Structure 1
């Protein structure tokens, strides 16, 4: 299976599948989702904004996500994973608090004092650069759904097949360009998958 050259090319391919929408709100999950969402917003002729999310890591191994939180929403946990680790949501309360602070910092960095656009009664497209476990996307979708939109679409270039299937319970539609069986990490499906900085995100938002 061919790789995406980079996030911009992946976003252009994804945009081709997002034509049947009416005046949507496009929300990208920083940081990587913003680069994917730029060509989508341009193709649809709409503004681009961010919906900030943070992974909640397992304290002994923070790279292992046991949940996530999105701005405007409550923490969403992988309860079965927590049980296997012998933990509860209360066990990671300190991590949640740390991530709330980082989430607030990023919201201010990306949006300043400007609130999220109103989502009630609108079509909303949530964009990320890929789905592995889907924890941050799940938190984002639940936060969006709480705002009573008319329709919610999750759009990603690539996603683990089981994750894409599970997130269909959280969105009206999940669109993925590819859903490979042999999925190990999002980055393996891109030729160039550079880490983005806050400055990169701001530059991308200004480019739309």
Structure 2
């Protein structure tokens, strides 16, 4: 067991990121589990905290295969290779995007309330999650954040498998990961308490940080 719970993981991650304090960074947590980790990082760095809400665009009838992602502000990242190989037509793409855009707006409003999104233009942005399994969502989040104007993207997680960290090197300018165990099956097995983070906790932490 590496971490007691997400708060402790966040405190340890904050120590590894303290050197970035001088860059006046913005900290973004991936909902839901990434937010309690990001909250501790933001507090330690004296940085603003926000959520990065992304929705994977899954190939119809094969949802786990993503052909892209969307983020707030109309940002969309699409892999033309996967679109071609999956033989997706414009209607297929539009239908998936429409459904995911509605869910994206709902989640963002739920988590952030009436607060505006923290602007990222020209900033160093630290994208935080509670761990990484495949890295697909984290990679999408990094691309979305870059498209929203971030000058430098740092992906920070407590734990991830070594191959995922290697792959994510192309999505972020820097990947900070405290532990990369080889015998990796799921993020939860490296936490003593990995109970689900309810929406209410995300809302509370974001409001408190604001």
**TM-score (normalised: structure 1):** 0.86
Shift of 1:89: 7.4
- Secondary structure of 1:74's counterpart equals strand
- Secondary structure of 1:201's counterpart equals helix
Shift of 1:194: 1.4
CA distance in 1 between partners of 2:78 and 2:3 (Å): 30
Structure 2 residue runs without a partner (length 5+): none
Structure 1 residue runs without a partner (length 5+): none
Matches within 5 A, 1:69-84: 69-72=70-73, 73-77=75-79, 83=85
Aligned partner of 2:19 in structure 1 is 20
Q: For structure 1, which segment, 181-190 or 43-52, has the greater mean C-alpha deviation from structure 2 after superposition?
A: 181-190
Superposed CA deviations along residues 12-48 of structure 1, whole A, max 9, x for unmatched, are 1111100111211111111111011111111111221
Shift of 1:54: 2.2
Q: For structure 1, which segment, 67-76 or 175-184, has the greater mean C-alpha deviation from structure 2 after superposition?
A: 67-76
User: CA 1:189/1:150 → structure 2, altered by over 3 Å: closer, same or farther?
Assistant: same
- Secondary structure of 1:174's counterpart equals strand
Shift of 1:60: 4.3
Q: Would you say the 8 A contact 2:26–2:49 is kept in 1?
A: yes
Superposed CA deviations along residues 94-153 of structure 1, whole A, max 9, x for unmatched, are 333222111110111122343322212211111111111211111111111123333211
The count of aligned residue pairs is 204
Q: Which has the higher helix share?
A: 2
CA distance in 1 between partners of 2:98 and 2:205 (Å): 29
Superposed CA deviations along residues 77-106 of structure 1, whole A, max 9, x for unmatched, are 5956994xx554755653332221111101
User: CA 1:44/1:98 → structure 2, altered by over 3 Å: closer, same or farther?
Assistant: same
Matches within 5 A, 1:1-208: 2-21=1-20, 22=22, 23-57=24-58, 59-60=60-61, 62=63, 64-66=64-66, 67-72=68-73, 73-77=75-79, 83=85, 86=86, 88=88, 91=92, 93-208=94-209
Q: Would you say the 8 A contact 2:77–2:143 is kept in 1?
A: no
Q: Would you say the 8 A contact 1:70–1:136 is kept in 2?
A: no
